[in-house]
A and B are shown apart, each in its own frame.
Chain A
Amino acid sequence: MNFSVNDSFLYAVTAVVILFVLAQSVFFLVRAVRRAKQLKISGVVIRRTVISTTLFTAAPALAILISVISLSGFLGLPFPWLRLSVLGALTYELPAATTTANAIGLNLSEYVANAQDFSAIAWVMTLGIIPGIILVLFGLKKIQKGVISLRSGDKKWGTIFMDSLFLGLISAFIGLVFADVTKGTAGWTPVAVAAVSALMMAICGILIKKCHITWLEQYALPLCMLAAMAASIPLANWMGMVG
């Protein structure tokens, strides 16, 4: 059978997976909104959560689209679209695809021409990411019980415990921002972008607390992120030139 990485069959498979993801998301959204109403969380808070998350998601979603485009030169459009819509992230998908391609001896700058090679890549990209979700299926309840027992009995420690989780994540990503600083001025660009974002958030904090612009609370993160992304254009040009 003739094979193409952009074959209509692959689009059909992708459509099924994407519809599944949408159906699951809508199912959880509807149930959570219903429960939020039972818990007397106001409609305004729910609406602002949805709008703020939509604004926040737009830029990273476009970055994921760029990842789809970057993989499409090798794997076609439908399969990267599928992989980056469910379970995956470029940080995993790219190494999985390239490691297998290298094992087979494929050229990464050309479409995969052989169905058997494509199938090998599809298997690796799928099997290489599956254990986490299997653990969620069979172990989430037990893990949550363990977490509850770690923080229960002492309310103050429970709060510190949760803050520590968030700060552990945030500290790793703040460290990442400094990874290139030894490469000269251009390497400081991510730090400068993060600083602009932090400064914007500090200003938003003052506007919320001192000027009582409470609606800003929901939109501060997406606004700061988009402003810092916009600032990255002149910053990258300027710091790149200096470097």
Chain B
Amino acid sequence: MKKETMYTESVHLYGRIWVALGIILLLSVPVAISVHYSAWPVWNYVLKGLLGVAPIYWTVGIIEVFTYSPMLGTGGTYLGFVTGNLSNLKVPAALNAMQAAGVKADSEEGEVISTIAIATSSIVTTLIIAVGVLLLGKLKPILESDLLKPCFAYITPALIGALGVVYVSKNWKIAIAPLVFMIVLFIIMPSLASSVGILVPVGVLLTMGVSRLLYKKNLL
């Protein structure tokens, strides 16, 4: 077996073990709370709560696997989906790292650079939150101060402006149609801001359609 295939196979093996353990651990949390406090929930409330979020978030969660896994690579997907905060942190971190290192997402070099970025991002996030919680008394007034409020409110535009200019300038022909579509859509329906997760696959499908059309017509 080729060394590359062996590495990918081993990532699948270890990835599945970690994810399976992660799922067991995650499900153990509400079980542990219910058992420790002898307080199993009123299942009717759980059902009502789930009916409010599951139709959207189960759909988004499943679509995210199809959308993000080709970008994150094998190791990055197994790790990123356990550690969470994908669209606001792990995916941009992986894209930035691969772009800066000059490697492609569909290469093995891209696979390892993406995994290094996602692992680093997970460790740093976990440590910052842990230190932040320990120093909460001192940090809370600073983080919630009126002066710093805009900084955290505008993280997404601050990130997407820089990331966008890199990718759009390289592929402007295929970027125009999805960009115009998304900008017009959000201006017409600002309420969609809370459902951006659903619109990512819409953007992906639209961009692929446009790319395929331009490619078939030899315009790329």
Asked whether B170 lies within 8 Å of A3 as measured between CB atoms, the reply is: no
CB distance from B9 to the nearest CB of A (A): 9
Q: Which of A107-150 contact B (CB under 8 A)?
A: 114-124, 126-137, 139-141, 143-144, 147
Q: Which of B81-112 contact A (CB under 8 A)?
A: 81-89, 91-93, 95-97, 99-101, 104-106, 108-109, 112
Cβ of A232 < 8 Å from any Cβ of B? yes
* Residue-wise interface mask of A (170-182) relative to B, using a CB-CB cutoff of 8 A (1 in contact, 0 not): 1111111111111
Asked whether B117 lies within 8 Å of A167 as measured between CB atoms, the reply is: no
Query: Which of A13, A25, A29, A198 is close to B126, meaning CB atoms less than 8 Å apart?
Result: A25
Asked whether B124 lies within 8 Å of A57 as measured between CB atoms, the reply is: yes
Q: Which of A13-35 contact B (CB under 8 A)?
A: 13, 16-18, 20-22, 24-29, 31-33, 35
CB distance from A132 to the nearest CB of B (A): 3
Please name the residue on chain A nearest to B122 by beta carbon: A25
How many contacts between A and B, using CB within 8 angstroms? 546
* Residue-wise interface mask of A (62-96) relative to B, using a CB-CB cutoff of 8 A (1 in contact, 0 not): 11111011000000010001101111110110011
Asked whether B130 lies within 8 Å of A170 as measured between CB atoms, the reply is: no
Number of A interface residues at 8 Å Cβ cutoff, please give it: 152
A65, B125: Cα distance in complex, Å: 9
Q: Which chain B positions have C-beta within 8 A of A104?
A: 42, 45
Q: Which chain A positions have C-beta within 8 A of B108?
A: 35, 39
CB distance from A204 to the nearest CB of B (A): 8
A39, B211: Cα distance in complex, Å: 32
CB distance from A99 to the nearest CB of B (A): 3
Asked whether B105 lies within 8 Å of A162 as measured between CB atoms, the reply is: yes
5 A-B pairs with the lowest CB-CB distances in the bound complex, closest first: A175-B182, A132-B61, A197-B161, A168-B204, A100-B49
Q: Which chain B positions have C-beta within 8 A of A135?
A: 61-62, 65
CB distance from B115 to the nearest CB of A (A): 4
Asked whether A197 lies within 8 Å of B157 as measured between CB atoms, the reply is: yes
Given A177-B161, A228-B161, 17 more A-B residue pairs with CB atoms under 8 Å apart are A21-B83, A27-B14, A31-B75, A39-B109, A41-B112, A60-B155, A63-B152, A68-B129, A87-B81, A87-B83, A136-B77, A164-B208, A169-B71, A169-B91, A169-B203, A172-B202, A201-B161
Asked whether A173 lies within 8 Å of B156 as measured between CB atoms, the reply is: yes
Asked whether B30 lies within 8 Å of A122 as measured between CB atoms, the reply is: yes
Assess A182 versus B190: contact at CB under 8 Å? Given A193-B158, A196-B161: yes
Asked whether B25 lies within 8 Å of A176 as measured between CB atoms, the reply is: no
Asked whether A175 lies within 8 Å of B183 as measured between CB atoms, the reply is: yes
Asked whether A201 lies within 8 Å of B23 as measured between CB atoms, the reply is: no
A64, B89: Cα distance in complex, Å: 10
Query: Which of A27, A39, A99, A165 is close to B67, meaning CB atoms less than 8 Å apart?
Result: A165
